[in-house]
Homo-oligomer: A and B are copies of this chain.
Amino acid sequence: MAVYTHVDPDDLAALVARYEMGSVLSCKGIAEGVENSNFLLETTGGRFILTLYEKRVREGDLPFFVDLLDHLAASGSPVPAMIRDRSGSAVQQISGRAACIIQFLPGISLTHPTPAQCEAAGVALGAMHRALAGYDGARANSMGHRHWREVANATGDLDAVRPGLQATVDEELGFLDAHWPTDLPAHVIHADLFPDNVLMLGDRVTGLIDFYFAASDFRAYDLVITHAAWTFSADGSTCDPALAQALMRGYAREIALTDGEIAALPTLARGASLRFLLTRAHDWVHTPADALVTRKDPSPFLARLLRYRADDAARLFSPA
């Protein structure tokens, strides 16, 4: 949850006047997004999301996100377009922040997805990957495999987060350095497709949102992130086979994984678990106790890592 920056009503009126969207009727800060300030904005022209970018999103990356969402929207993926003003610009300034006005999409984020909903998420992810295979944009993945050791070092003593964690992480970093694949199909991926970032109505996906971690990486890595995010119990100890099979079945309706990808899935999933384990541990240690951000417990991703390490991990990725 995150609303950090106050928007003055006069500044808002001036911003909205740059667009073909009439005048402001309402603007309410919403508890959504990755450390940005988000507002649900209603004008006489419709409903929109106003996002002010805080520290984690670099202003220089915004043109990439605008172009990516344009491409995906044009390809039929249910993503929110960034609205352009009368001069064609999607990136604005307000309250000292870069800001975009973004299409509003209906739908709500699930807490406990059903198999049918996991299957729909898998289809949506696969369809997005088909659209992204032909996309020529690129962005280095600053949260990718090559950076995990830095994140671990920057966190400090991992045993302070949880006794024994440092040894587990060191061992895993060694394994992943030795076994991380090098030649799998790659393109821009979402890289953070948790249930929070998928809007649904019933069993229908109505929105894929929050692309601010999108970057160039293996498509199968995007799939295992989604697998880790959608198919486990809250404590991360148990993968529900019905949810996992449904997700994989849905994805397979759009994408035929290569043999190399299938073989790499458990390793990639260990990497995905380590990525969220490390960034959560880092934020746990470095977020001031009085910050407005709710710190996320890293432990459920340690539990996933251990599950994906088990001898039978490959069967968690079977579509049937």
Contact = CB atoms under 8 A, between A and B. Distances in A.
A10, A31, A42, A107: residue with the most chain B Cβ atoms closer than 10 Å = A31
Contacts of A10: 112
Contacts of A183: none
A107 B26 contact: yes
A106 B40 contact: no
A90 interface: no
Interface in A101-154: 106-112
A242 interface: no
Interface in A1-31: 1, 3, 6, 8-10, 12, 24-31
A10 B24 CA distance: 32
Given A3-B31, A31-B31, A40-B40, A26 B108 contact: yes
Nearest to A42: B106
A112 B11 CA distance: 11
A32 interface: yes
Nearest to A107: B26
Interface stretch (A51-59, A77-85, A287-295, A303-311): A287-295
Nearest to A41: B108
Contacts of A257: none
Contacts of A40: 28, 30, 40
Contact of A30 (B29, B107, B109, B199): B29
A74 interface: no
A28 to B, nearest CB: 5
A112 B8 contact: yes
Nearest to A200: B9
A201 interface: yes
A28 B26 contact: no
A32 B26 CA distance: 13
A206 to B, nearest CB: 9
Contacts of A8: 111-112
Given A1-B3, A25-B107, 10 more contacts: A6-B111, A25-B106, A26-B199, A28-B30, A28-B32, A29-B30, A42-B106, A289-B289, A289-B290, A292-B292
5 contacts: A12-B108, A25-B201, A30-B31, A30-B40, A40-B40
Give the 7 A-B residue pairs with the shortest CB-CB distance, closest first. Answer: A29-B31, A289-B290, A3-B31, A25-B106, A28-B30, A8-B111, A26-B106
